[in-house]
Amino acid sequence: MNITEILTRNADLYGEETSLVEVNPEVRRRNDITWLEFELVEPKLAAQYRREMTWREFNDRANRFANLLLKRGIKKGDKVAILLMNCLEWLPVYFGILKSGAIAVPLNFRYTAEEIEHCLKLAEVNALIYGPEFIERVETAKSRIPDVKLRLFVGDNCPLGAEGYESLIASYSAKEPQVSLGEDDDAAIYFSSGTTGFPKAILHTHRSLISSCHTERNHHGQTREDNFLCIPPLYHTGAKMHWFGSLLAGSKAVLLRGVKPEWILKTVSEEKVTIVWLLVPWAQDILDAIERGEVNLADYQLDQWRLMHIGAQPVPPSLIRRWQKYFPRQLYDTNYGLSESVGPGCVHLGVENINKVGAIGKPGFEWEAVITDEQGNPVPQGEVGELAVKGPGLMKCYYSDPQATEAVLRDGWLFTGDMAQMDEEGFIYLVDRKKDVIISGGENIYPVQVEDFLHRHPAVKDVAVIGLPDQRLGEIAAAVIELKPAHLCTEEKIMEFCRDLPRYKRPRKIIFDKVPRNPTGKIEKPRLRERYNGGSLVTAQTRN
């Protein structure tokens, strides 16, 4: 079996039912009316604001794109890159690539021209489909990617050197392409976050993708009546693999192009969304907007919203306690995963374990986990070591990089690079990235533990703890703190707050600044270390 057969099944069983909805609040001029009223008042803009697609249309468009690729010389095992913002075209394009037997290569929409060039060359890409936001970057890289012979463009005003996707697929058959595919065939190349340099190419098979469908549905129990709100970028395994639970259930999903709190709540209300996956900053923004009086929950229909879950980064327990205050009837879950483990779910808290908030959970459905020492041996319960996972969604390899593959894949286990510890009940707590551990005066300081503590301060919106060089101690812990709007704070107040920490864990420097995060919510600590390493540090100031 391959993952495209699930889409074909859905088209056969639920053909006229809605599969995907795209909502783009940027084109909605009147935020105080419902979509139906908006459609009556401004029908042309309404067509841009909200688009939808049935399961049959989804499958037909995937088939047409697959047949287009095959006719244009793309064959099984070739690579087709996707450089699109979240949109209604994204998933049919992805499945069209898979149905053709080619390997889908999603690209981060924040990549520079240099990074686009690097990834296209590394993955040996044969064709590229891209949108209007990327014309300039593709043009810059074009002369250095001669192997990308087929360039397709999604949108109006197709640039020179590309062909219009929409007009092309209309002329191709919607019949299923006759390509033999099995679970062990290569399916997709994803790229690592790239927070430590150029990203690595992660190769997954159809078996990996199918396993993520079953893992996600097992964890969150999607039914045909559910409606999943997808906000994170689809190029990342996290967003897509959570949606795979909806694919398996044959249930609707909404792609929201925007992250403002009022947009999220309005879409949940109007589209009758039941499941939302948030990143920490977006959950934080919703709570801040509620507490500032900028949104009133009574204005929205939220009773059907049954589950909020968070992944992609450590979750401060204080954030979830605040969330439960405003959404007491919602289930909460968190998932841990890596692109190398086909996204979220290899470790999973479980909605029944709300009392364990702070842990990332136990091994997920059909997964195993162990915490190891430097030699790869299990450490005693309670000790810190490197988390290793094993399961059906492990990557095949880092594409064209056997040395990097051997460094992390050993005897069927993926060594994650994350430091963790396990309690007496078997729950795993993430301590930090192995490379981010601060060694100060011979003591190991795990930044996530200090960040969780600082998140409890009422003025702190976000925080990142990094190591900076020190002649005497080797390294010291520095806390980069982003304050909530309209909150004042000083270094002295933060230092006083930190007196409840053990002395060796207390930050030696306080820096008030914005905490940079990548599109999947991970703190970009290399940027912070580069910015403040050896520079003049601002250690006491206030922000309005």
Residue 28: per-residue pLDDT: 58
Whether 31 is in a domain gets the answer no
Confidence band for 37, pLDDT divided at 50, 70 and 90: low
Whether 467 is in a domain gets the answer yes
Confidence band for 111, pLDDT divided at 50, 70 and 90: confident
Residue 22: per-residue pLDDT: 97
Residue 500: per-residue pLDDT: 86
DSSP state, 54? E
Whether 105 is in a domain gets the answer no
Residue 486: per-residue pLDDT: 82
Whether 122 is in a domain gets the answer no
Residue 544: per-residue pLDDT: 28
Whether 472 is in a domain gets the answer yes
Instruction: Over range 54-70, report the average pLDDT.
Output: 98
Residue 540: per-residue pLDDT: 33
pLDDT > 90 in the chain, percent? 67
Long-range contacts, 266-270 (Cβ 8 Å, 24+): 266/25, 266/31, 266/300, 267/23, 267/25, 267/229, 268/229, 268/300, 268/302, 268/305, 269/300, 269/301, 269/302, 270/34, 270/35, 270/301
Length of the chain counted residue by residue? 544
More confident residue, 83 or 35: 83
Confidence band for 199, pLDDT divided at 50, 70 and 90: confident
Alpha-carbon dihedral 359, 363, 369, 370, rounded to 10 degrees? 40
Sign of CA dihedral 26, 32, 36, 37: negative
Of the candidates 244, 240, 199, the one whose C-alpha atom is nearest the C-alpha of residue 90 is 240
pLDDT tens digits, residue range 397-451?
Answer: 999 999 999 999 999 999 998 889 999 999 999 886 777 778 786 677 878 888 8
* Distance of alpha carbon 80 from alpha carbon 129, whole angstroms: 8
* Distance of alpha carbon 448 from alpha carbon 427, whole angstroms: 17
Residue 536: per-residue pLDDT: 38
- Domain of 492 in residue numbering reads as 438-532
Whether 418 is in a domain gets the answer no
Q: In this structure, how many other beta carbons lie within 10 angstroms of the beta carbon of residue 232?
A: 23
Give the C-alpha distances (Å, rounded to integers) separating 166 from 112, 131, 175, 439.
Answer: 26, 12, 17, 55
pTM of the model: 0.83
Any residues with CB less than 8 A from the CB of 44 and at least 6 apart, and which?
none
pLDDT tens digits, residue range 148-175?
Answer: 989 999 999 999 999 999 999 999 999 9
Instruction: Over range 333-362, report the average pLDDT.
Output: 91
Do the Cβ atoms of 200 and 404 come closer than 8 Å? yes
Question: 3-state secondary structure string, 107-164?
Answer: CCCCCCHHHHHHHHHHCCCCEEEECHHHHHHHHHHHCCCCCCCEEEECCCCCCCCCEE
Q: Which of 99-103, 344-348, 353-357, 430-434 has the lowest mean pLDDT?
A: 430-434
Interstrand relation of 201-205 and 186-191 (parallel, antiparallel or unpaired): antiparallel
pLDDT tens digits, residue range 463-507?
Answer: 999 888 877 677 889 999 999 888 889 999 999 999 888 788 899
- Domain total in the chain: 1
Residue 39: per-residue pLDDT: 59
CATH number, domain at 506? 3.30.300.30
Whether 477 is in a domain gets the answer yes
Q: Which of 89-103, 133-147, 481-495, 522-536 has the lowest mean pLDDT?
A: 522-536
Neighbour-count burial for 340-354, b at 16+ CB within 10 Å, e otherwise: bbbbbbbbbbbbebe
Confidence band for 45, pLDDT divided at 50, 70 and 90: low
Whether 154 is in a domain gets the answer no
